[in-house]
Amino acid sequence: MDEVAISMHGLTKRFGETTAVDHIDLEIYKGELFGLLGANGAGKSTIIKMLTTMLTPSDGKAQVWGHDVIRERNAVRSSIGVVFQDPAWDGMLTGRENLDFHGRMYGMNGRLRQERIDEVLKLVDLVDKADIKMEDYSGGMQRRLEIARGLMHYPHVLFMDEPTLGLDAQTRRYIWEYIRNMNKEKGVTIILTTHYMEEADALCDRVAIIDKGKVVALDTPSNLKDMIGSDTISLEVQMGTEALLPCLQSFPWIKSVAVINGTLELMVDHAQSRIPEIIQEANKCGTVITSVRLHKPSLEDVFLKYTGRKIRDTGNNSTAHRRRR
């Protein structure tokens, strides 16, 4: 049986009459890369703040690495690292100096501190930028140094709150590689909050979808997508639609056929392998197909199913706001 790194039982947080986190029961295992998915305001960052002792729960219990988040705050803090959504570095200091300051805060002696700085700088590929002031770092470099800072004191668990928020697609993928390396090669248990569905799909062993403070879905990304059902094949047809419809409906592996705004929408299991048969049948029926599109269920579809809406991407606006401050 997998060892538990984090446990939550009835975990709740209220702000006045508003319940931000509503009686969550959840276990996260050692060595797991776990994703908390949700729109802004869903409660995922509040969960992180309670688990990192930054907020006191209103009700329920939680343990991190065997330590109670209320009664054993210092032990919890010694066991974890945190990559904040908002920057937590001094722009007038170099990357190395920021890491040194963090190590001093955790009581690391000089020799250990310098050895660890070299290790984490190498991990996030910033050795050649270590002595440049943080204010001159790019957004991607700043996030990478944030990750290095979170790892300085050898944490068992690393919390990452929207680690790629506002970064361009290429930089986000670089960050993904660093996250994978920390988890798979270094064995760090990682809890990741994000509203980027493709990020959770690419990185996480399991994900929990949070909506209105509750866990509404929990499983591996693959299993969650399988719950949605069949793939969708969209056919743009120039002529012969009426002749093709009865032919397609005779195939037992086509679950449904619909015409939406002139496009044929087919729900099909294992659609990739069925496309040649569909095209062959269309040719027999004298139908001219001008385009074929395949859509496989995504975590976005899962989110839509369980919450009734698409997740909102407000990352760019949040980043712009932070840079203006």
Q: Which two tokens stand for residue 272?
A: 């990739």
Per-residue pLDDT of the chain (325 residues; tens, 9 = 90+): 579 999 999 999 999 999 999 999 999 999 999 999 988 889 999 999 999 999 999 999 999 999 999 999 999 999 999 988 777 788 999 999 999 999 999 889 999 999 999 999 998 899 999 999 999 999 889 989 998 999 999 999 999 988 888 888 888 888 898 899 889 988 999 999 988 889 999 999 999 999 999 999 999 999 998 888 788 899 998 877 788 888 888 888 888 888 888 888 888 888 888 999 999 988 888 888 899 999 888 898 899 888 887 775 434 444 433 333 3
**Which strand (E) or helix (H) includes residue 149?**
helix 139-151
Question: Measured between alpha carbons, how far apart are the two ends of the chain, in Å?
Answer: 48
Whether residue 9 contacts residue 215, with contact meaning beta carbons closer than 8 Å, is answered with no
Total count of residues recorded for the chain: 325
CA distance to 83, 105, 301, 313, per residue, from 38 (Å): 18, 33, 13, 10
Bridge partners of 158, per DSSP, are 81, 190
For residues 301 and 288, give the distance between their C-alpha atoms in angstroms, rounded to a whole number: 30
Structural domains of the chain sorted by starting position, each given as residue range(s) with its CATH number in brackets:
4-224 (3.40.50.300), 230-296 (3.30.70.100)
pLDDT at site 312: 56
For residues 126 and 118, give the distance between their C-alpha atoms in angstroms, rounded to a whole number: 9
Bridge partners of 257, per DSSP, are 266
pLDDT at site 320: 38
- Cβ-in-10-Å burial (0-12, 13-18, 19+) of 272 comes to exposed
Q: Which two tokens stand for residue 263?
A: 């496009």
Tell me the three state secondary structure of residue 151.
helix
pLDDT at site 22: 97
pLDDT at site 169: 87
For the beta sheet containing 59-64, the strands, ordered from the edge strand earlier in sequence to the opposite edge, are 18-29, 4-15, 59-64, 67-68
Whether residue 228 contacts residue 216, with contact meaning beta carbons closer than 8 Å, is answered with no
Bridge partners of 289, per DSSP, are 237
pLDDT at site 51: 97
For residues 138 and 143, give the distance between their C-alpha atoms in angstroms, rounded to a whole number: 9
| pTM greater than 0.85 | no
Q: Which two tokens stand for residue 68?
A: 């109670």
Per-residue exposure over 52-75, b if at least 16 CB sit within 10 Å of its own CB, e if not = bbebebeebebbbbebebeebeeb
Whether residue 48 contacts residue 159, with contact meaning beta carbons closer than 8 Å, is answered with yes
- Cβ-in-10-Å burial (0-12, 13-18, 19+) of 290 comes to exposed
For residues 5 and 32, give the distance between their C-alpha atoms in angstroms, rounded to a whole number: 9
Could you please report the per-residue DSSP string of 78-115?
HHEEEE-SS--S-TTSBHHHHHHHHHHHTT--HHHHHH
